[in-house]
Amino acid sequence: MADGPYKYIRDADGKVSRVIRVGTRKSQLARIQTDSVVEKLKELHPDVQFEIVAMSTTGDKILDTALSKIGEKSLFTKELENALEKNEVDLVVHSLKDLPTVLPVGFTIGSVLKRENPHDAVVLHPKHKGKCLDSLANKSYTLTVVFQRGNLNTRLKKLDEKDDFSAIILAAAGLRRMGWENRISQILGPNDCMYAVGQGALAVEVRARDQDILEMVSVLNDSDTVLRCIAERAFLKHLEGGCSVPVAVHTEVKNSQLYLTGAVYSLDGSDSLKETMQTSISSDKQDEEQEKVDEKVQRVGITALKVSEAAQDAAVKLGVDLGNLLLSKGAKEILTVARQLNDAR
């Protein structure tokens, strides 16, 4: 039975329970990620029934074209957001890196969970087991990079069953969540390869007007992850970046300081800019506990009710300031050329 946009069920004993419908992509990794979020919500709300609704997105269906060439935003989120808008689901679990820095009107990211390792990993062809990039025979320092699409299962199968690639680069977070950590030959640290904005973090998107759902998911927020990802997203937004341009980041929280390193690159990597800035995110604990976060305020698409507003504002400013620093040194020119070359391919 339904009451407005909400769904309820009655069990054999006549007990009525609310049903929360959770949207997700159909891939194995997406289901694993969604199951992990639902398990956390079940622990907090044992009287609520959670129903998973899986669907395919545009990005799942178009597998023969680079994401940057498809030309549509929200490749992995549009169908899920349509379901959210039609009240067919009540919340959606995403990989945060799939969500644009500006969400459609009426939606917000209600929680960003504790981040898995955000770095990229090298997965070698089985014949190279035990090696790393540096020890590969031939061309180890002049790597030939080849475009590859598909989910984790598909990409690993292509690597293992063919001899087209010596290695592939995948997000370490996805491999770990799939239980394939033994395939990781090497983690690429920030000096070797920085990562995509939001990589390794899961986000829960909700309807901004659903205060009860927003409150429900807000307890899943991990403060450090929220602040790191707000800074990263603010940096990307200020550069007007996206899937079609090479923008990378590295963040960490140390001693109440948030450090953000951001970089932009030409498509061939011959031209680049990279800078680091930091800001204080400390706050008086008593003030933080008394603070009422305004649920109407989004910061780069995120409404984090349980995280200090002052710290969130500092994270946004850090991202904008770093973006301005790189723009003052020529980032716009690098990214403009990268976009033009990408469009011409």
Among 275, 197, 233, 251, residue whose Cα is nearest residue 108? 233
Q: Is residue 98 among the annotated active site residues?
A: yes
Instruction: With both helix axes pointing from N to C terminus, report the angle between 331-344 and 309-328 in degrees, rounded to the nearest 10.
Output: 80
**CA–CA distance, 217 with 259 (Å, rounded to integer):** 27
The CA-atom distances, in angstroms, between 296 and each of 187, 208, 304 are: 39, 8, 10
Instruction: Give the integer Cα–Cα distance in Å for 228 and 224.
Output: 6
Q: Which of 205, 184, 214, 218 lies closest to 306 in space, CA to CA?
A: 218
- Six-digit token pair at 260? 């953000």
Token pair for residue 311? Answer: 């710290």
Beta strands in 14-63 (DSSP E): 16-25, 49-55
The separation between CA 38 and the C-alpha centre of its own chain, rounded to angstroms, equals 18
Catalytic residue among 35, 64, 98, 212: 98
Residue at token pair 């007990």? 15
CB atoms inside a 10 Å sphere around CB 172: 24
Q: Are 215 and 111 in contact (CB under 8 A)?
A: no
Torsion of Cα atoms, 64 then 102 then 248 then 313, to 10°: -160
> Which residue do the tokens 């920085």 mark?
194
CA angle 248, 252, 258 (to 5 degrees): 105
**What is the C-alpha separation between 9 and 267, in angstroms, rounded?**
53
Which amino acid appears at position 225 of this protein? T
Token pair recorded at residue 236: 């990307």
Residues catalogued as catalytic = 98
